[in-house]
Amino acid sequence: MGFEEVIKELRDREEEARRIRRAEADWDFINSLPPRVKLAVIHYIETGDIYVSARIAGMSVEEFNEVRIRARVPNAN
């Protein structure tokens, strides 16, 4: 498998993970969150990056992960 094929496979997997996070998320709950936390959850859904998302929310990773679970957003891994 060449470099281009590996990159394409990784992009395809990330897009599939993003699609699953979007579909499984509890959007009513997410939309009820304070703006900064809502933005952080949406960032997580789009990127899967829990560390940056927690920083956006102004929370520890553990605190943000609790919000992620309550929002029914699947883990990025």
Report the C-alpha gap between 12 and 44 in whole angstroms.
Answer: 18
Q: Give the model confidence (pLDDT) of 16-71 as tens digits.
A: 999 999 999 999 999 999 999 999 999 999 999 999 999 999 999 999 999 999 99
The model's confidence at residue 1, banded by pLDDT at 50, 70 and 90, is: confident
What pLDDT, on the 0 to 100 scale, is given for residue 77?
64
C-alpha radius of gyration, the chain, whole number: 14
Please indicate, yes or no, whether the overall pTM of this predicted structure exceeds 0.85.
Answer: yes
d(CA 5, CA 11): 10
> Which pLDDT score, from 0 to 100, does residue 24 have?
97
Residue 36 and residue 47: Cα distance in Å, rounded? Answer: 16
DSSP annotation string for 47-61: H--HHHHHHHHTS-H
